[in-house]
């Protein structure tokens, strides 16, 4: 046990994921003394860039591109000066996403809807015309949707009542309840166009047949066309580095190898934390916690029993993620006549039915017969990540957390990675020949890397309607606070608006500013 004297700060934050760092940075800029504690030897949670394979090859271990944060006032208005003062820079490629089908056909989504329509017209002129209507609708809904993503969520009842007041709102509500598959069948006649957009739903680890997934296509398309997919120059972790630089520039501290064991509670108020090695950090004003709802009750003495039970009952998606990071001797050569120049590349079968059945197998905790591979090779846009002439690969697939054959992921992940690369060779001519060295993160590895990625779910918990908005993760915890515990605030992918790089800690900061008697609109902007 450590005998180190307690450290006292105004704000103590648990976890250095980007959401916690965002919340902490706003408080630091407003003049509060902030200390951030990270259990790992590195910082960033899901937003981290590391040399996982060979020296000079910088891999984004989890998040690869930053999509939804681009509409956040944090970056849109550069509220914390992350871009103008702390070195954050983004590249926005013309093709955020494309599908490559096994027979060599391709379908690109551009930031320009007219160019996307021309791509879709290769498959169906009627679908191309429909797409332009969908694009216009996504653009029309975007301001309303975006305005709700970076602030505390409105009550579910009030939100539903508001939508019920207009024809447009009721149309939106209908789509919110539909599955991607059902809505895509209403919209498009060509099955490859349907499959292309259904794969968007799949990136949230859910089947296109899952109810309440249709709206995702509009959100995704709206952001893609308005902002593009932001590729951080130097790696995804540059966002983390900029946030830490901001905190430190305003007198804060970010500490590694500090694994928090419990929240200290005094007279019903969060008073600080104790680490597993016995160090104490006292908080004068508040504690911020990036703590998974399944783990929350074990860290707070006296937490309401029903609130704890509901938190521990939150649903994690049936599918987990496995990733392969590879240092490549040369850029990838896809087996297609078209140039593959997208941030995110989906490798798809020739039949839409194959994709749907793959997700059905995952629902029953079985392996997908046809790997659901997605890939990125961001060195083609940012050569600073690799030695001259080389490249990197970020490859992912969805698998059961518990293998149906009873074997351990620790013993079998290399075998499965070989399976992924073999399947990839149907699409890429020089795989696996150009692989110099690979790093594999199984669902177990992801869970070990971050408690937020429980059971290999990068979104913390499933993105179902009953776990969305003010009900994420539960109705009691949906406003970033814990009933019965004053001055304790929640952040993380399991809070509104969900997984992905949103910069959602801004909403937590807004709640904290209000509780501390501070004006968020006038304070908390980087100086």
CA-to-CA dists, residue 130 to 109, 126, 167, angstroms: 15, 6, 21
Residue 421 has pLDDT above 70, yes or no: yes
Tokens of 250: 């305003």
CA atoms within 13 A on the CB side of 273: 29
Backbone conformation region of residue 468, classed left if phi is above 0, alpha if psi is from -120 to 50, else beta: beta
Tens of pLDDT along 219-255? 999 999 999 999 999 999 999 999 999 999 999 999 9
DSSP-derived secondary structure letter, 378: G
pLDDT at 526: 66
Tokens of 446: 């992801």
Residue 202 has pLDDT above 80, yes or no: no
Residue 282 has pLDDT above 60, yes or no: yes
Q: 144-183: buried (b, 16+ CB within 10 Å) or exposed (e) per residue?
A: ebbeebbbbbeebeebeeebeeeeebeebeebbebbbbbb
CA-to-CA dists, residue 11 to 103, 148, 380, angstroms: 56, 26, 41
Please identify which residue in the block is written with the tokens 């908080």: 283
**Mind giving me the DSSP string for 232-288?**
ETT-THHHHHHHHHHHHHTT-EEESS--EEEEEEETTEEEEEEETTS-EEEEEEEEE
507 burial via Cβ count (<10 Å: 0-12, 13-18, 19+): buried
Tens of pLDDT along 125-169? 999 999 999 999 999 999 989 989 999 999 988 888 988 898 888
For residue 102, give the nearest of 347, 332, 341, 344 by alpha carbon: 347
For residue 495, give the nearest of 464, 466, 463, 473 by alpha carbon: 473
d(CA 456, CA 199): 19
Tokens of 43: 């910082």
CA dihedral 161, 167, 173, 175 (to 10 degrees): 180
What average pLDDT does range 115-126 have in this prediction?
98
d(CA 255, CA 106): 46
d(CA 96, CA 231): 10
For residue 467, give the nearest of 303, 316, 362 by alpha carbon: 316
Do 378 and 392 contact (CB within 8 A), yes or no? yes
Tens of pLDDT along 41-92? 999 999 999 999 999 999 999 999 999 999 999 999 999 999 999 999 999 9
Residue 337 has pLDDT above 60, yes or no: yes
What average pLDDT does range 448-466 have in this prediction?
89
Backbone angles phi, psi at 428, to 5 degrees: -125, 125
Query: Which band of pLDDT confidence, cut at 50, 70 and 90, is reported for residue 409?
Result: very high
pTM of structure: 0.96
For residue 47, give the nearest of 75, 19, 77, 14 by alpha carbon: 19
For residue 308, give the nearest of 473, 138, 493, 522 by alpha carbon: 473
d(CA 450, CA 196): 31
Query: Which band of pLDDT confidence, cut at 50, 70 and 90, is reported for residue 379?
Result: very high
β-strand pairing of 280-289 with 485-490: parallel
Q: In a 3-state reduction of DSSP, which class is residue 320?
A: strand
User: What structural domains and CATH numbers belong to the chain?
Assistant: 7-53+62-89+234-314+458-515 (3.50.50.60)
d(CA 332, CA 430): 7
Cis amide bond preceding 42, omega within 30? no
Q: How much of the chain exceeds pLDDT 90, in percent?
A: 87
Query: Which band of pLDDT confidence, cut at 50, 70 and 90, is reported for residue 1?
Result: very low
Residue 4 has pLDDT above 90, yes or no: no
d(CA 323, CA 179): 27
Tokens of 184: 């895509």
Which secondary structure element, helix H or strand E, spans residue 8, and what is its range?
Answer: strand 7-14
What average pLDDT does range 101-123 have in this prediction?
97
DSSP-assigned beta bridge partners for residue 375: 345, 395
Cis amide bond preceding 473, omega within 30? yes
For residue 492, give the nearest of 12, 158, 14, 1 by alpha carbon: 14
pLDDT at 200: 83
CA-to-CA dists, residue 417 to 402, 444, 446, angstroms: 16, 14, 15
Residue 527 has pLDDT above 80, yes or no: no
DSSP-derived secondary structure letter, 471: G
What average pLDDT does the chain have? Answer: 95
Crossing angle of the two packed helices 18-29 and 505-515, in degrees rounded to 10: 40
């Amino acid at each position: 046990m450590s005998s180190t004297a307690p450290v006292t700060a105004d704000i103590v934050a648990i976890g250095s994921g980007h959401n916690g760092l965002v919340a902490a940075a706003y408080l630091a800029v407003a003049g509060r003394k902030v200390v951030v504690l990270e259990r790992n030897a590195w910082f960033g949670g899901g937003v981290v860039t590391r040399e996982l394979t060979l020296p000079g090859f910088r891999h984004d271990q989890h998040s690869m591109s930053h999509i939804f944060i681009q509409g956040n006032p944090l970056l849109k208005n550069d509220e914390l000066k992350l871009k103008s003062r702390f070195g954050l820079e983004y590249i926005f490629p013309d093709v955020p996403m494309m599908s490559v089908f096994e027979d060599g056909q391709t379908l690109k989504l551009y930031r320009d809807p007219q160019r996307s329509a021309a791509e879709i017209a290769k498959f169906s002129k009627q679908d191309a015309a429909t797409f332009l209507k969908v694009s216009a609708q996504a653009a029309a809904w975007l301001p309303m949707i975006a305005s709700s993503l970076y602030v505390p969520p409105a009550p579910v009842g009030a939100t539903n009542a508001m939508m019920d007041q207009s024809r447009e709102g009721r149309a939106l509500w209908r789509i919110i309840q539909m599955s991607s598959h059902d809505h895509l069948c209403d919209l498009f006649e060509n099955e490859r166009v349907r499959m292309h957009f259904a794969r968007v739903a799949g990136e949230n680890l859910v089947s296109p047949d899952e109810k309440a997934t249709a709206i995702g296509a509009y959100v995704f398309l709206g952001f893609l066309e308005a902002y593009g997919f932001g590729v951080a120059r130097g790696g995804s972790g540059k966002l983390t580095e900029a946030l830490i630089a901001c905190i430190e520039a305003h007198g804060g501290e970010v500490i590694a190898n500090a694994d928090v064991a419990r929240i200290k509670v005094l007279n019903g108020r969060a008073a600080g934390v104790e680490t597993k090695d016995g160090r104490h950090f006292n908080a004068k004003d508040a504690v911020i916690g990036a703590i998974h709802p399944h783990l929350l009750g074990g860290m707070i003495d006296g937490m309401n029993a029903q609130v704890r039970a509901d938190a521990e009952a939150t649903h994690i998606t049936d599918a987990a993620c496995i990733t392969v990071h590879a240092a490549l001797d040369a850029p990838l050569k896809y087996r297609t006549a078209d140039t593959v120049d997208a941030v995110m590349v989906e490798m798809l079968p020739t039949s839409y039915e194959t994709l749907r059945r793959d997700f059905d197998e995952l629902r029953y905790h079985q392996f997908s017969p046809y790997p659901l591979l997605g890939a990125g090779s961001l060195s083609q846009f940012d050569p600073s990540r690799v030695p001259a002439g080389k490249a990197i690969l970020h490859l992912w697939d969805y698998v059961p957390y518990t293998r149906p054959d009873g074997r351990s992921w620790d013993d079998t992940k290399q075998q499965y990675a070989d399976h992924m690369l073999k399947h990839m060779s149907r699409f890429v001519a020089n795989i696996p020949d150009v692989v110099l060295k690979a790093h594999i993160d199984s669902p177990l590895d992801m869970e070990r890397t971050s408690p937020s990625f429980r059971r290999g779910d990068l979104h913390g918990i499933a993105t179902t309607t009953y776990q969305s908005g003010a009900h994420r993760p539960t109705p009691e915890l949906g406003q970033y606070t814990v009933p019965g515990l004053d001055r304790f605030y929640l952040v993380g992918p399991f809070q509104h608006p969900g997984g992905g790089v949103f910069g959602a800690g801004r909403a937590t900061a807004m709640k904290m500013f209000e509780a501390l008697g501070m004006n968020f609109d006038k304070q908390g902007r980087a100086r």
